[in-house]
Amino acid sequence: MLLSKNLFDMSRLPLYLYILCFVSFFSAAQAQETLSIEQAISRGLANSYSIKVEETDLTIAQNRNDWAIAGKYPSLNVNLSNSNNYSNINNPVSFLTEINSFSTGLVPSADASLILFDGYRVRMTKKQLEQTEILERGNLAITVENTIQNVMLAYYQALLQQEQLEVLEEVLALSRDRIRYQEARQEFGQAGKFDILQTQDAYLNDSTSYLLQQTNLGNALRTLNQAMGEDDLQKRYSLSDQLNLPIEDYQLGALQEKMNSNNRSIQNAFVGRELANLNTRIVESANYPRISAAANTSYNWNLANGSGTQANGESRSFDAIISKTLNAGVSITASYQLFDWGVRRRNIETARLQEVSTQYSIEDLKRNLNLQMANTFANYQNQRQLIGLTETLVQNARENLEIAAERFRSGQINSFDYRAVQVAFINAEQSRLTSIFNLKTIETDLIRLTGGMVR
């Protein structure tokens, strides 16, 4: 009798373990922070170091987008020099056969230069700086798109794992009810040890799946924290959104039109082509003469003193002598390189070829993106049809589960048949959730291809 009682307690141990896990899990869930997908995206944008790097690069491009950087304004230099000299002259035929002198001078000066004409190089350089700033804005937009998409996919993945966990909770509750039902039947002699063991095995398998799914959810939440740029990867959330079906009815023609006009990669490619064109025009400016104007002024202040020896041996000294000189001048210089062994011609040819290369790159990018759009749209349409099938499968599986539960209680089917129906329901529900997740993933690709990720 004691052995029988111990066996009965052991049979209820998985139930106690489940209740303990169930209570602890939901107690922790009550203290978890609620997180929506909009909040997740906001955190990801605020914490992304990639975005901060691109914002810094954009600030650099903005600082450089100035006429002074392009070389439009004159340059002005101010100089100050000091010179000190000592000399000793010994000349027998001179009035003074030996002279020792020391002089010091201070020379402040200023010079300015201005480019009057350089083949429109300054103007093209300024436009190049403007296009570089536009390109950096495009790079920042692409980085923002990457961040948003990564956060969205991580959120959807965590949401998938959370809803799959809820399905397993429902199935686990059914398995627990089966154990209680078989235990009640055993008390009245309607079920044997074999029936109890079968229900326990099913419950243990469901418990194992539940614990593994908890691990999957934890991994997905850590990935979400990483996508949001959170330092605490162990932080858990209660996800408030649901894995619902997209309601947008996309049309391929409209999507391709939006993509060709709004896709960030295409826009950046056009900016790159414009930069290549400006580079060609800058290189071509070497064919024009360069005309520049310069002005300079200097003031020379010099102090000299010394002593000398006359031919008769008499010594004489010189008092301090101060001399001042003011110089000023303006000049215009025109220069043109007549011959450089074909360097200019080759540079221009290279720049034009690079411009052609950028146009080829644009066409190739458009072709690849159109292929990607067509494939993504086809996958989207097929996935929507697949979801329709899985919805029907889930509905049928749930009805079969309800009917099987009634027949199991009435003894019309055995535990093996009931378990098969239960497993079919799990597979159908998991397949439906996975299909919805795949559809949401494909939809984010469509939104990004059409430039709709960032408004």
- Following DSSP, what letter does each residue of 276-291 receive, concatenated? HHHHHHHHHGGGS-EE
**Rounded CA separation 313/317 (Å):** 13
d(CA 172, CA 238): 21
Q: How far apart are the first and last CA of the chain?
A: 74
Q: Record the pTM.
A: 0.80
Q: In the prediction, which pLDDT does 27 show?
A: 43
Tokens representing 335 are 């220069």
| Residues composing the chain | 455
All residues at 6 or more sequence positions from 263 whose CB lies less than 8 Å from its CB, including other chains? 369, 449, 450, 451
Nearest to 208 by CA among 419, 7, 17, 429: 17
Q: How far apart are the C-alpha atoms of 157 and 229, rounded to whole Å?
A: 17
Q: Which of 264, 242, 213 is nearest to 452 (CA)?
A: 264
* The pLDDT of residue 373: 96
- Cβ atoms of 157 and 280 within 8 Å: the answer is no
Q: How far apart are CA 194 and CA 200, in angstroms?
A: 10
Per-residue pLDDT of the chain (455 residues; tens, 9 = 90+): 333 333 334 344 444 444 445 544 444 444 578 999 999 999 999 999 999 999 999 999 999 999 999 988 999 999 988 888 777 666 565 555 556 667 788 889 899 999 988 889 999 999 999 999 999 999 999 999 999 999 999 999 999 999 999 888 888 887 777 667 666 656 656 556 666 676 777 778 878 888 998 999 999 999 999 999 999 999 999 899 888 877 778 899 999 999 999 999 999 999 999 999 999 999 999 899 999 999 999 888 887 776 665 555 666 666 667 778 888 889 899 998 888 898 999 999 999 999 999 999 999 999 999 999 999 999 999 999 999 899 899 899 889 888 988 887 777 877 778 778 888 888 898 899 999 999 999 999 999 999 988 75
Regarding the domain delimited by 2-65+120-288+342-449, which CATH topology (the fold level of the hierarchy) does it fall under? Outer membrane efflux proteins (OEP) (1.20.1600)
The pLDDT value recorded for residue 23 is 45
Taken in order 249, 254, 259, 261, the sign of the CA dihedral is negative
Q: Rounded distance, CA 127 to CA 123, Å?
A: 6
CA angle 89, 93, 98 (to 5 degrees): 30
Residues 6+ apart with CB under 8 A from 177: none
Whole-number pLDDT of residue 145: 94
DSSP state of 411: T
Instruction: Map out the domains of the chain as residue ranges.
Output: 2-65+120-288+342-449, 75-117+290-335
Cβ neighbours, 10 Å, residue 440:
21
Contact yes or no for 317/145 (Cβ under 8 A): no
315: left (phi over 0), alpha (psi -120 to 50) or beta: beta
Burial of 14 (0-12, 13-18, 19+ CB in 10 A): middle
Residue 210: how many other CB atoms lie within 10 Å: 20
Q: Phi/psi of residue 350, each to 5°? A: -65, -45
What confidence score (pLDDT) does residue 187 get? 60
Looking at this protein, which amino acid is placed at residue 413?
I
What is the structure's pLDDT at 94?
54
CB 178 within 8 A of CB 201: no
Tokens describing residue 81: 């020099």
pLDDT at 349: 95
